[in-house]
């Protein structure tokens, strides 16, 4: 493969690694995606393939040791030390009741730009505008309690 054609391979490696990282939660595979993106520009400057692979290896290693610790620390739940992602990241967040929650019924809460169907943790009614904390999530329904 000519060095000018290697750009396609670097893009493919970056995409495959980024997609694989979405399935895992350790921010390890993403470091190889970073390495591929660093090696990509060198393919346009007629750098020999062997040197592009060296650049990829060095950049991936640097990403594993320098970037990954910061990313993992940022993505960890401070209380449980678990990696939170997707919808589980809302647990413990303070939000506002946007549609009153009747006693043992459903209402809605607003968190950022998202609106969630909600139920009270203790079954009591919550008024619109009240500040609540999300304590659990089951599918698209969150359980809330009055924020302290």
Residues 35 and 70 in one domain: yes
Per residue in 85-142, pLDDT (tens digit) is 566 778 889 999 999 999 989 999 998 888 899 999 998 899 999 999 999 988 889 9
pLDDT at res. 26:
72
Give the rounded percent of residues in the chain with a pLDDT score beyond 90: 49
Give the domain extent around 130. 87-146
Cα 30 from Cα 102, distance rounded (Å): 45
Residues 95 and 141 in one domain: yes
pLDDT(16) > 70:
yes
| Boundary residue ending a domain (12, 43, 75) | 75
pLDDT(10) > 80:
yes
pLDDT(22) > 70:
yes
| Boundary residue ending a domain (75, 95, 118) | 75
For the range 118-125, what are the long-range contacts, defined as Cβ-Cβ under 8 Å and sequence gap of 24 or more? 118/142, 118/143, 118/144, 119/143, 119/144, 120/144, 120/145, 121/145, 125/100, 125/101
Domain membership flag for residue 51:
yes
Domain membership flag for residue 103:
yes
């Amino acid at each position: 493969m000519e060095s000018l054609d290697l750009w396609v391979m670097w893009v493919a490696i970056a995409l495959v690694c980024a997609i694989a990282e979405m399935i895992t939660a350790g921010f390890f595979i993403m470091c190889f995606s970073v390495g591929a993106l660093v090696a990509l520009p060198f393919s346009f400057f007629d750098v020999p393939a062997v040197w592009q692979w060296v650049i990829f290896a060095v950049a991936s290693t640097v990403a594993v040791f320098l970037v990954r610790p910061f990313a993992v620390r940022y993505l960890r739940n401070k209380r449980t030390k678990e990696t939170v992602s997707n919808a589980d990241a809302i647990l413990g967040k303070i939000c506002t009741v946007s549609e009153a929650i009747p006693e043992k019924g459903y209402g809605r809460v607003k968190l950022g730009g998202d609106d969630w169907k909600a139920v009270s943790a203790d079954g009591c009614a919550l008024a619109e505008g009240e500040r609540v904390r999300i304590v659990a999530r089951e599918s698209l329904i969150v359980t809330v309690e009055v924020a302290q």
